[in-house]
Structure 1
Amino acid sequence: MSRLLGGRIMLREYRKDDLPWIRKWVNDPNIVEHLSDIFLYPHAEQSTEAFLDAMLAGDEDSRGFVIADLRTEAYIGQINLDSIDWKNRVGKVGIVIGSTDDFGQGYGTEAMRLLVDFAFLEMNLNRLELEVYEFNERAIRSYVSSGFREEGRLRERFYKKGRYVDVVQMGVLKSDWKAARQG
Protein backbone atom coordinates (compact mmCIF):
# COMPACT_ATOMS: atom_id res chain seq x y z
CA MET A 1 0.00 0.00 0.00
CA SER A 2 1.36 3.40 -0.89
CA ARG A 3 1.96 6.17 1.60
CA LEU A 4 -0.47 9.07 1.80
CA LEU A 5 1.23 12.43 2.15
CA GLY A 6 -0.24 15.49 3.80
CA GLY A 7 1.11 18.90 4.72
CA ARG A 8 2.67 17.87 8.05
CA ILE A 9 2.02 14.15 8.32
CA MET A 10 1.97 11.00 6.29
CA LEU A 11 -0.06 7.85 6.61
CA ARG A 12 2.44 5.05 6.30
CA GLU A 13 2.68 1.31 6.81
CA TYR A 14 3.00 -0.26 10.24
CA ARG A 15 6.51 -1.41 11.19
CA LYS A 16 7.91 -3.66 13.89
CA ASP A 17 9.69 -0.66 15.42
CA ASP A 18 6.29 0.98 16.08
CA LEU A 19 5.79 -1.40 19.00
CA PRO A 20 7.41 0.83 21.69
CA TRP A 21 5.29 3.79 20.53
CA ILE A 22 2.08 1.76 20.67
CA ARG A 23 3.06 0.39 24.07
CA LYS A 24 3.44 3.99 25.34
CA TRP A 25 -0.25 4.79 24.85
CA VAL A 26 -2.05 1.44 25.03
CA ASN A 27 -2.18 1.53 28.84
CA ASP A 28 -2.23 5.32 29.29
CA PRO A 29 -5.58 6.25 30.89
CA ASN A 30 -5.43 9.75 29.36
CA ILE A 31 -5.43 8.20 25.88
CA VAL A 32 -7.61 5.13 26.25
CA GLU A 33 -10.47 6.91 28.07
CA HIS A 34 -11.69 7.94 24.61
CA LEU A 35 -11.39 4.47 23.09
CA SER A 36 -13.49 1.32 23.14
CA ASP A 37 -13.84 -1.06 26.06
CA ILE A 38 -11.11 -3.30 24.69
CA PHE A 39 -8.86 -0.89 26.59
CA LEU A 40 -10.78 -1.24 29.85
CA TYR A 41 -8.11 -3.54 31.26
CA PRO A 42 -4.33 -3.33 30.96
CA HIS A 43 -2.89 -4.77 27.77
CA ALA A 44 0.03 -7.16 28.04
CA GLU A 45 2.95 -6.68 25.70
CA GLN A 46 2.02 -9.93 23.92
CA SER A 47 -1.42 -8.50 23.11
CA THR A 48 0.12 -5.40 21.59
CA GLU A 49 2.58 -7.53 19.61
CA ALA A 50 -0.30 -9.70 18.33
CA PHE A 51 -2.15 -6.58 17.15
CA LEU A 52 0.94 -5.26 15.41
CA ASP A 53 1.62 -8.65 13.80
CA ALA A 54 -1.96 -8.71 12.49
CA MET A 55 -1.53 -5.23 10.99
CA LEU A 56 1.76 -6.27 9.39
CA ALA A 57 0.18 -9.42 7.94
CA GLY A 58 -2.74 -7.50 6.50
CA ASP A 59 -6.37 -8.46 6.32
CA GLU A 60 -8.73 -8.29 3.38
CA ASP A 61 -11.36 -6.52 5.48
CA SER A 62 -9.18 -3.83 7.01
CA ARG A 63 -6.58 -1.27 6.04
CA GLY A 64 -4.37 0.35 8.62
CA PHE A 65 -1.95 3.24 8.68
CA VAL A 66 0.44 4.80 11.13
CA ILE A 67 0.09 8.56 11.42
CA ALA A 68 3.68 9.75 11.18
CA ASP A 69 5.65 12.96 10.94
CA LEU A 70 6.14 13.84 7.27
CA ARG A 71 9.88 14.49 7.57
CA THR A 72 11.04 11.98 10.18
CA GLU A 73 8.38 9.25 9.74
CA ALA A 74 8.14 9.15 13.57
CA TYR A 75 5.01 7.56 15.02
CA ILE A 76 2.25 9.99 16.10
CA GLY A 77 -0.74 7.65 16.14
CA GLN A 78 -2.72 5.33 13.94
CA ILE A 79 -5.85 5.32 11.81
CA ASN A 80 -7.55 2.22 10.54
CA LEU A 81 -10.42 1.19 8.33
CA ASP A 82 -11.92 -1.91 9.91
CA SER A 83 -14.80 -4.21 9.05
CA ILE A 84 -14.81 -3.16 5.40
CA ASP A 85 -18.02 -4.33 3.76
CA TRP A 86 -16.90 -4.70 0.15
CA LYS A 87 -20.38 -5.49 -1.22
CA ASN A 88 -21.96 -2.35 0.24
CA ARG A 89 -18.75 -0.27 0.02
CA VAL A 90 -18.68 0.72 3.72
CA GLY A 91 -15.75 1.06 6.09
CA LYS A 92 -15.59 1.75 9.83
CA VAL A 93 -12.91 4.21 10.95
CA GLY A 94 -10.87 4.11 14.15
CA ILE A 95 -8.19 6.63 15.10
CA VAL A 96 -5.88 7.34 18.03
CA ILE A 97 -3.25 9.98 18.66
CA GLY A 98 -0.69 8.25 20.87
CA SER A 99 0.52 11.11 23.06
CA THR A 100 -1.36 13.85 24.89
CA ASP A 101 1.48 16.17 23.81
CA ASP A 102 0.15 15.79 20.25
CA PHE A 103 -3.50 16.48 21.13
CA GLY A 104 -4.91 19.66 19.63
CA GLN A 105 -2.21 19.90 16.95
CA GLY A 106 -4.52 19.01 14.04
CA TYR A 107 -2.79 15.70 13.31
CA GLY A 108 -6.00 13.70 13.71
CA THR A 109 -7.98 15.99 11.42
CA GLU A 110 -5.27 15.89 8.75
CA ALA A 111 -5.05 12.11 9.03
CA MET A 112 -8.84 11.74 8.80
CA ARG A 113 -9.00 13.92 5.69
CA LEU A 114 -6.23 11.89 4.03
CA LEU A 115 -8.02 8.65 4.87
CA VAL A 116 -11.41 9.91 3.65
CA ASP A 117 -9.87 10.99 0.33
CA PHE A 118 -8.12 7.65 -0.02
CA ALA A 119 -11.24 5.64 0.86
CA PHE A 120 -13.39 7.43 -1.72
CA LEU A 121 -10.86 8.02 -4.50
CA GLU A 122 -8.75 4.86 -4.38
CA MET A 123 -10.83 2.23 -2.59
CA ASN A 124 -14.13 3.29 -4.17
CA LEU A 125 -15.97 3.09 -0.87
CA ASN A 126 -19.32 4.85 -0.68
CA ARG A 127 -19.61 5.40 3.06
CA LEU A 128 -17.40 5.75 6.10
CA GLU A 129 -18.70 5.53 9.64
CA LEU A 130 -17.45 5.76 13.19
CA GLU A 131 -18.62 5.94 16.78
CA VAL A 132 -17.45 8.47 19.34
CA TYR A 133 -18.38 9.13 22.96
CA GLU A 134 -20.34 12.33 23.52
CA PHE A 135 -17.73 13.69 25.96
CA ASN A 136 -14.99 13.56 23.29
CA GLU A 137 -15.86 17.00 21.93
CA ARG A 138 -12.44 17.58 20.39
CA ALA A 139 -12.80 14.43 18.27
CA ILE A 140 -16.37 15.30 17.26
CA ARG A 141 -15.23 18.73 16.02
CA SER A 142 -12.43 17.06 14.05
CA TYR A 143 -14.79 14.54 12.46
CA VAL A 144 -17.29 17.25 11.49
CA SER A 145 -14.52 19.29 9.87
CA SER A 146 -13.57 16.14 7.92
CA GLY A 147 -17.10 15.83 6.51
CA PHE A 148 -18.76 13.47 9.00
CA ARG A 149 -22.26 14.14 10.28
CA GLU A 150 -24.03 12.92 13.36
CA GLU A 151 -26.46 10.23 12.20
CA GLY A 152 -27.72 8.95 15.52
CA ARG A 153 -27.12 8.37 19.19
CA LEU A 154 -27.11 5.33 21.33
CA ARG A 155 -28.39 6.91 24.51
CA GLU A 156 -26.52 6.02 27.69
CA ARG A 157 -24.74 3.20 25.86
CA PHE A 158 -21.34 3.63 27.53
CA TYR A 159 -20.54 3.59 31.25
CA LYS A 160 -17.62 5.79 32.21
CA LYS A 161 -16.50 7.17 35.56
CA GLY A 162 -19.73 6.37 37.35
CA ARG A 163 -22.20 7.61 34.74
CA TYR A 164 -23.75 6.57 31.44
CA VAL A 165 -22.92 8.58 28.33
CA ASP A 166 -24.21 8.56 24.76
CA VAL A 167 -22.37 7.00 21.85
CA VAL A 168 -22.60 9.30 18.82
CA GLN A 169 -22.81 7.55 15.46
CA MET A 170 -21.30 9.55 12.60
CA GLY A 171 -20.91 8.96 8.89
CA VAL A 172 -19.84 10.55 5.63
CA LEU A 173 -21.08 9.61 2.17
CA LYS A 174 -19.04 9.80 -1.00
CA SER A 175 -21.71 12.06 -2.55
CA ASP A 176 -21.45 14.54 0.35
CA TRP A 177 -17.66 14.43 0.16
CA LYS A 178 -17.76 15.15 -3.59
CA ALA A 179 -20.18 18.04 -3.12
CA ALA A 180 -17.97 19.58 -0.41
CA ARG A 181 -14.89 19.30 -2.64
CA GLN A 182 -16.67 21.02 -5.51
CA GLY A 183 -18.13 23.74 -3.30
Structure 2
Amino acid sequence: MPRQIGQSVMLREYRRDDLPWIRQWVNDPNIVGHLSDIFLYPHALESTEAFLEAMLEGNPDSRGFVIADTATETYIGQVNLDSIDWKNRVGRIGIVIGSTEHMGRGYGTEAMKLLIDFAFSEMNLNRLELEVYDFNERAIRSYLKCGFKEEGRLRERIYKNGRYRDVLQMGLLKSDWKTERAEKLV
Protein backbone atom coordinates (compact mmCIF):
# COMPACT_ATOMS: atom_id res chain seq x y z
CA MET A 1 0.00 0.00 0.00
CA PRO A 2 1.43 3.37 -0.89
CA ARG A 3 1.71 5.79 1.98
CA GLN A 4 -0.88 8.51 2.24
CA ILE A 5 0.76 11.81 3.15
CA GLY A 6 -1.07 14.71 4.77
CA GLN A 7 0.00 18.00 6.36
CA SER A 8 0.66 16.72 9.90
CA VAL A 9 0.16 12.97 9.61
CA MET A 10 0.75 10.16 7.19
CA LEU A 11 -0.84 6.75 6.92
CA ARG A 12 1.93 4.19 6.72
CA GLU A 13 2.46 0.46 7.08
CA TYR A 14 2.63 -1.27 10.45
CA ARG A 15 6.12 -2.16 11.66
CA ARG A 16 7.39 -4.46 14.37
CA ASP A 17 8.86 -1.45 16.18
CA ASP A 18 5.31 -0.08 16.61
CA LEU A 19 4.74 -2.66 19.37
CA PRO A 20 5.91 -0.45 22.29
CA TRP A 21 3.68 2.39 21.08
CA ILE A 22 0.65 0.10 20.86
CA ARG A 23 1.44 -1.34 24.29
CA GLN A 24 1.39 2.18 25.76
CA TRP A 25 -2.30 2.66 25.01
CA VAL A 26 -3.81 -0.81 24.80
CA ASN A 27 -4.39 -1.01 28.57
CA ASP A 28 -4.77 2.73 29.26
CA PRO A 29 -8.33 3.37 30.54
CA ASN A 30 -8.19 6.97 29.26
CA ILE A 31 -7.79 5.63 25.72
CA VAL A 32 -9.68 2.32 25.68
CA GLY A 33 -12.69 3.71 27.56
CA HIS A 34 -13.92 5.05 24.21
CA LEU A 35 -13.22 1.84 22.29
CA SER A 36 -15.08 -1.43 21.86
CA ASP A 37 -15.52 -4.04 24.55
CA ILE A 38 -12.56 -6.04 23.23
CA PHE A 39 -10.65 -3.73 25.56
CA LEU A 40 -12.84 -4.51 28.57
CA TYR A 41 -10.14 -6.72 30.07
CA PRO A 42 -6.38 -6.13 30.16
CA HIS A 43 -4.51 -7.22 27.03
CA ALA A 44 -1.47 -9.42 27.50
CA LEU A 45 1.68 -8.74 25.57
CA GLU A 46 1.05 -11.90 23.53
CA SER A 47 -2.35 -10.57 22.39
CA THR A 48 -0.84 -7.32 21.20
CA GLU A 49 1.96 -9.20 19.44
CA ALA A 50 -0.59 -11.45 17.71
CA PHE A 51 -2.57 -8.39 16.54
CA LEU A 52 0.56 -6.74 15.18
CA GLU A 53 1.66 -9.94 13.47
CA ALA A 54 -1.76 -10.23 11.80
CA MET A 55 -1.49 -6.64 10.55
CA LEU A 56 2.00 -7.33 9.19
CA GLU A 57 0.87 -10.49 7.41
CA GLY A 58 -2.21 -8.83 5.95
CA ASN A 59 -5.75 -10.02 5.52
CA PRO A 60 -7.81 -9.74 2.32
CA ASP A 61 -10.81 -8.46 4.29
CA SER A 62 -9.06 -5.69 6.20
CA ARG A 63 -6.48 -2.97 5.66
CA GLY A 64 -4.59 -1.36 8.48
CA PHE A 65 -2.61 1.84 8.65
CA VAL A 66 -0.48 3.48 11.30
CA ILE A 67 -1.16 7.17 11.83
CA ALA A 68 2.33 8.65 12.02
CA ASP A 69 3.94 12.05 12.24
CA THR A 70 4.72 13.20 8.69
CA ALA A 71 8.23 14.41 9.50
CA THR A 72 9.44 11.62 11.80
CA GLU A 73 7.13 8.69 10.94
CA THR A 74 6.62 8.23 14.71
CA TYR A 75 3.51 6.27 15.72
CA ILE A 76 0.54 8.41 16.80
CA GLY A 77 -2.29 5.89 16.43
CA GLN A 78 -3.91 3.63 13.93
CA VAL A 79 -6.87 3.53 11.59
CA ASN A 80 -8.14 0.30 10.09
CA LEU A 81 -10.70 -0.81 7.56
CA ASP A 82 -12.13 -4.01 9.00
CA SER A 83 -14.62 -6.49 7.61
CA ILE A 84 -14.38 -5.19 4.05
CA ASP A 85 -17.32 -6.48 2.05
CA TRP A 86 -15.80 -6.59 -1.43
CA LYS A 87 -19.05 -7.60 -3.18
CA ASN A 88 -21.00 -4.63 -1.83
CA ARG A 89 -17.96 -2.32 -1.60
CA VAL A 90 -18.35 -1.50 2.12
CA GLY A 91 -15.64 -0.93 4.71
CA ARG A 92 -15.97 -0.60 8.48
CA ILE A 93 -13.59 1.87 10.15
CA GLY A 94 -11.91 1.74 13.53
CA ILE A 95 -9.54 4.46 14.72
CA VAL A 96 -7.52 5.22 17.83
CA ILE A 97 -5.16 8.01 18.78
CA GLY A 98 -2.71 6.25 21.08
CA SER A 99 -1.92 8.97 23.61
CA THR A 100 -3.86 11.73 25.33
CA GLU A 101 -1.14 14.24 24.37
CA HIS A 102 -1.99 13.72 20.69
CA MET A 103 -5.75 14.06 21.18
CA GLY A 104 -7.56 17.24 20.22
CA ARG A 105 -4.92 18.30 17.69
CA GLY A 106 -6.79 17.27 14.53
CA TYR A 107 -4.65 14.22 13.85
CA GLY A 108 -7.63 11.85 13.88
CA THR A 109 -9.66 14.04 11.52
CA GLU A 110 -6.73 14.38 9.10
CA ALA A 111 -6.08 10.62 9.23
CA MET A 112 -9.75 9.87 8.59
CA LYS A 113 -9.79 12.19 5.57
CA LEU A 114 -6.70 10.47 4.16
CA LEU A 115 -8.30 7.06 4.70
CA ILE A 116 -11.60 8.17 3.16
CA ASP A 117 -9.85 9.51 0.06
CA PHE A 118 -7.87 6.28 -0.29
CA ALA A 119 -10.90 4.03 0.29
CA PHE A 120 -13.06 5.78 -2.29
CA SER A 121 -10.51 6.74 -4.95
CA GLU A 122 -8.07 3.81 -4.80
CA MET A 123 -10.02 0.89 -3.32
CA ASN A 124 -13.25 1.83 -5.09
CA LEU A 125 -15.37 1.30 -2.00
CA ASN A 126 -18.86 2.78 -2.11
CA ARG A 127 -19.62 3.09 1.59
CA LEU A 128 -17.73 3.53 4.84
CA GLU A 129 -19.31 2.94 8.22
CA LEU A 130 -18.44 3.07 11.90
CA GLU A 131 -19.94 2.96 15.36
CA VAL A 132 -19.26 5.46 18.13
CA TYR A 133 -20.49 5.80 21.71
CA ASP A 134 -22.81 8.73 22.36
CA PHE A 135 -20.50 10.15 25.05
CA ASN A 136 -17.50 10.33 22.69
CA GLU A 137 -18.30 13.87 21.58
CA ARG A 138 -14.82 14.62 20.25
CA ALA A 139 -14.97 11.64 17.88
CA ILE A 140 -18.53 12.45 16.78
CA ARG A 141 -17.49 16.03 15.88
CA SER A 142 -14.52 14.66 13.92
CA TYR A 143 -16.66 12.17 11.99
CA LEU A 144 -19.22 14.84 11.12
CA LYS A 145 -16.38 17.09 9.90
CA CYS A 146 -15.26 14.23 7.64
CA GLY A 147 -18.74 13.94 6.09
CA PHE A 148 -20.21 11.02 8.05
CA LYS A 149 -23.90 11.14 8.85
CA GLU A 150 -25.70 9.57 11.78
CA GLU A 151 -27.77 6.75 10.31
CA GLY A 152 -29.03 5.06 13.42
CA ARG A 153 -28.88 4.87 17.17
CA LEU A 154 -28.84 1.69 19.19
CA ARG A 155 -30.45 2.88 22.40
CA GLU A 156 -28.82 1.72 25.63
CA ARG A 157 -26.71 -0.77 23.65
CA ILE A 158 -23.66 -0.72 25.92
CA TYR A 159 -23.01 -0.55 29.63
CA LYS A 160 -20.14 1.85 30.43
CA ASN A 161 -19.16 3.53 33.66
CA GLY A 162 -22.20 2.41 35.60
CA ARG A 163 -24.92 3.24 33.07
CA TYR A 164 -26.36 2.19 29.74
CA ARG A 165 -25.30 4.29 26.76
CA ASP A 166 -26.33 4.62 23.13
CA VAL A 167 -24.21 3.55 20.17
CA LEU A 168 -24.43 5.76 17.08
CA GLN A 169 -24.13 4.18 13.67
CA MET A 170 -22.58 6.51 11.11
CA GLY A 171 -21.97 6.17 7.40
CA LEU A 172 -20.45 7.98 4.45
CA LEU A 173 -21.27 7.28 0.80
CA LYS A 174 -18.88 7.75 -2.09
CA SER A 175 -21.47 9.92 -3.85
CA ASP A 176 -21.63 12.31 -0.86
CA TRP A 177 -17.82 12.41 -0.72
CA LYS A 178 -17.65 13.25 -4.45
CA THR A 179 -20.26 16.00 -4.09
CA GLU A 180 -18.41 17.57 -1.15
CA ARG A 181 -15.09 17.47 -3.03
CA ALA A 182 -16.68 19.08 -6.10
CA GLU A 183 -18.18 21.86 -3.98
CA LYS A 184 -14.76 22.65 -2.48
CA LEU A 185 -13.29 23.07 -5.96
CA VAL A 186 -15.86 25.69 -6.97
Bucket of the pairwise TM-score, normalised by the shorter protein? over 0.9
Aligned pairs, number: 183
Provide the rounded CA distance (Å) in 1 between the counterparts of 2:9 and 2:38: 27
| Map of 2:117 onto structure 1 | 117
Unmatched 5+ stretches in structure 2? none
| Map of 2:69 onto structure 1 | 69
Provide the rounded CA distance (Å) in 2 between the counterparts of 1:71 and 1:101: 18
| Map of 1:25 onto structure 2 | 25
| Map of 2:157 onto structure 1 | 157
| Map of 1:12 onto structure 2 | 12
Provide the rounded CA distance (Å) in 2 between the counterparts of 1:138 and 1:126: 26
Deviations 1:14-39 (A, max 9, x none): 00000000000000000000000000
The TM-score normalised by the length of structure 2 is 0.98
Provide the rounded CA distance (Å) in 2 between the counterparts of 1:30 and 1:137: 14
* Structure 1 residue 174 displacement after superposition: 0.2
Kindly report the root-mean-square deviation, in angstroms, between the aligned alpha carbons of the 2 structures.
0.3
Which segments of structure 1 move beyond 2 Å, counting only runs of 4 or more? none
**Partner AA of 1:158 in structure 2:** I
Q: Percent identity?
A: 77
The TM-score normalised by the length of structure 1 is 1.00
Unmatched 5+ stretches in structure 1? none
Provide the rounded CA distance (Å) in 2 between the counterparts of 1:140 and 1:91: 18
Provide the rounded CA distance (Å) in 2 between the counterparts of 1:2 and 1:177: 21
Deviations 1:36-77 (A, max 9, x none): 000000000000000000000000000000000001000000
**Partner AA of 1:35 in structure 2:** L
